[in-house]
Homo-oligomer: A and B are copies of this chain.
Amino acid sequence: MEGLNIPDNNLERIVIIGCGFGGLNLAKKLNHKVYQVVMIDKHNYHTFQPLLYQVATAGLEPDSIAYPIRNIFRKLPNFYFRLAEAQKIDAEKKILHCNIGSLSYDHLIIATGSETNYFGMEQVEKWSMPMKTVPEALNLRSLMLQNFEAASLSQDLQERERLMNFAIVGAGPTGTELAGALAELKTHVLPNDYPDLDFRRMSIHLIEMADKVLPPMQEFSSRNALQYLESLGVQVWLNTAVESYDGSVVKTNKKDIPASTLIWAAGVKGNIIAGLEEGKDYERGRYLVNTFNQIGEHQNIYAIGDVASMQAKDTPKGHPMLAQVAIQQGLNLAKNLNSRKNPSNWKAFRYKDKGTMATVGRNKAVAELYNKLMLKGFPGWAVWMAVHLLSLVGFRNRVVVFFNWLVNYFSYDRKIRLIIRPWHRSTK
C-alpha cells in the first residue's frame, strides 16, 4: 500500500473524504488520541460556499472565503491531510484507492458534497457556467468582465446586448442571491466602468421551474424575495424550464432569451465514488444511510451531508442539501465514533432546523429562524450578515470580509473587478 505515505501507528484509522462543512466539523470533533485521522480533499482549502456568489460578482476576494485545511488542523495530533482525489472504494478489503495511491481504513467517511447537475443536458453543460468552487466563481467573474470589454468593442447592437445579458437558471438561494448581486453591479458599478455602454440594454433573467422563487422557503420569504428582485430590475420567469442553450440564446418552454452568459444553479447531485452498489448503497446520486449515517450493510462506511440521504418518515427524500445538515451530521457522527466502545450509546441523528435565509441586495434579505421568526428588509439582512460572518473559518477572513462589506456598503462599489486569468470556454 504505497503512495499516501501515512505511518501506521496502531490507532484505528478514520479516513474522511472531503473537507466541506460536514468533513470539517467531524474531523475537528473526533478524539484524536484514539483515532488516526486522514483527511483527503482535491483542494488544499475549505471553501465557504455560501459566499461564492460574492466572489463571482467582484465583492469579495477568493482568499477571504477559503481557508487552508492544514492550518485548521495544525494543532491536532495523529492528523494527516493529503491533497488527493478518491477514486474507488474496496469495501471488502477496506481500502480506498486514490489518484496518488491507496490507503487502508478502519472507518471511511464519505463527505464529498455535491456537484452541479445538468440532468443530462449536454449542450447546457458545455455552454453554461457552474458556481460550486472557487475556480468556477473566478471563471464567472472573468467571463462577466470579459463580456463587458467585448461589448465595448462591438458595433453590432444585438451582439452587444447579448454580451450584456445574464440568464440564471434556478431561483434557490444561490440563483436568487447571484441575480440580486448582478442587479446591484448593473445599477451602481458597471455604468461607471463602461460609460460608453447603454445599461438600459443590460438585463438579468432569473428562470425557475417552480411557481415561486426560493421554493423550499415559506410563502412570506418567497413573496418578499420576488418583490426585492423585481425592485432591482431582475426579470423573473416562474414556471419556466430551460430546453437548450448554445452560448448565445437560452431556449425555454416560454421564451427565447439572448444571453452570452448562462449560470446554472438549477440542481446538484451527490459526488458518488465508484465501488459501492447502485440501487442498494446509493440511488439518484446520494448514499442511503441509516440514522447513524452508515451506508447499507457497511457498518464502517458512512456518508454525511449533501451526499447522504437519510430516508425516514419526516424525510422521505432525505434531508435538504444544506450546510446545517452537513455540520450537524458531522458532529453527531464524531460523537458516536468517539464513544465507539459503547455502541449502545450511539445517538440517532436528528436534524435541528435553525432556519434558512437569502439576501437579495443591500437591506434586502429574508430569513426564517427556527421556523418561527420571519424577518425581511434590514433586520433580515443584518442577521444574514452576522450568521455568515460568524460561520467563516478564521479571524483574518472574518475581518477582511467584514471590511469589504463595509466598503461595499458605503461606496456602493465592488472593487475586485480583476480579470486575473482570462477565461476561455475552450478550456472548460
Residues in chain A within 8 A of chain B (CB atoms): 2-5, 7, 43-45, 61-64, 66-68, 70-71, 74, 80, 82-83, 100-101, 134-135, 138, 145-146, 149, 152-155, 192-196, 394-397, 399-400, 403-404, 407, 413, 415-421
Contacts and interface: CB of A to CB of B under 8 A. Distances in A.
A131 B5 CA distance: 32
Given A74-B192, A138-B420, A396-B404, A153 B62 contact: no
A154 B418 CA distance: 37
A341 B44 CA distance: 60
14 contacts: A2-B155, A5-B155, A45-B417, A63-B63, A66-B420, A68-B193, A68-B418, A74-B193, A82-B152, A82-B153, A396-B404, A399-B403, A400-B403, A400-B404
Contact of A419 (B4, B44, B80, B415): B44
Nearest to A100: B153
Contacts of A100: 153
B153 A4 contact: yes
Given A45-B417, A82-B152, 18 more contacts: A2-B155, A5-B153, A43-B419, A44-B417, A44-B418, A44-B419, A62-B418, A63-B418, A70-B194, A74-B193, A74-B195, A82-B149, A134-B418, A396-B404, A396-B415, A399-B403, A400-B404, A421-B421
Contact of A420 (B5, B134, B154, B419): B134
A67 B419 CA distance: 11
B153 A3 contact: yes
A82 B196 CA distance: 12
Centre residue among A3, A5, A135, A413 by max chain B CB count within 10 A: A5
- Copies per complex? 2
Nearest to A2: B155
A374 B88 CA distance: 62
Which 9 pairs show the lowest CB-CB distances between chains A and B?
A61-B63, A70-B193, A68-B417, A83-B149, A74-B192, A45-B418, A44-B419, A63-B416, A61-B61
Contacts of A5: 152-155, 196
Contacts of A3: 153
Nearest to A55: B63
A420 B62 contact: yes
A276 to B, nearest CB: 26
B417 A83 contact: no
A83 B155 contact: no
A135 B83 contact: no
B419 A83 contact: yes
A419 B61 contact: no
A45 B61 CA distance: 15
Contacts of A397: 415
A282 to B, nearest CB: 29
A62 B149 CA distance: 21
Nearest to A190: B70
Centre residue among A7, A80, A397, A421 by max chain B CB count within 10 A: A421
Centre residue among A101, A134, A396, A418 by max chain B CB count within 10 A: A418
Contacts of A66: 418, 420
